[in-house]
């Protein structure tokens, strides 16, 4: 698209949880369940900046997996059911609370990185700072 196009600021939450492009809000950013596309099919935004790393898994573990595992432990202690009862209750609860949130969380984190212009940290000094450091070391 045109390099002079002004893109509106879109909410990372609204576009991210739906898996939409952080710049145009129209193109889908996922190619598969959790794999990101190389670029947005609608506006051509390169998604190479996106690196949510283990963020989605961390949030799922903290806010979904721990409570559902706590339920499984409570169920075992309170009722002492046979193993097959856990297969019918605890296992589906853990799967349903842990897998579906991964994609919306990853979309939100990618969109937040774009919105806040997050990038890898660098140590950059201006010339005056470098001169001060050289003088201090001598």
Q: Are 104 and 16 in contact (CB under 8 A)?
A: yes
User: How many C-beta atoms lie closer than 10 Å to residue 128's C-beta?
Assistant: 8
Cα torsion 104, 110, 116, 119 to 10°: value is 150
- Residue 116 CA, distance from chain mean position: 14
Whether this prediction's pTM lies above 0.85 is answered by no
pLDDT tens-digit readout, 63-86? 999 999 999 999 999 999 999 999
CA dihedral 12, 14, 18, 24 (to 10 degrees): -70
pLDDT band for 59, please (50, 70, 90 cuts): very high
């Amino acid at each position: 698209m045109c390099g002079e196009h002004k893109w509106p600021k879109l909410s990372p939450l609204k576009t991210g949880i739906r898996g939409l492009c952080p710049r145009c809000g129209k193109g889908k950013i996922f190619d598969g369940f959790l794999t990101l596309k190389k670029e947005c099919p609608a506006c051509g935004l390169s998604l190479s900046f996106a690196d949510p790393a283990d963020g989605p898994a961390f949030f799922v573990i903290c806010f979904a997996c721990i409570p559902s595992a706590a339920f499984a432990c409570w169920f075992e202690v309170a009722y002492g059911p046979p193993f097959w009862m856990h297969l019918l209750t605890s296992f589906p609860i853990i799967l349903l609370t842990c897998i579906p949130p991964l994609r919306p969380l990853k979309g939100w984190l990618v969109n937040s990185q774009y919105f806040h212009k997050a990038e890898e940290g660098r140590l950059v000094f201006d010339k005056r700072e470098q001169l001060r450091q050289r003088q201090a070391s001598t």
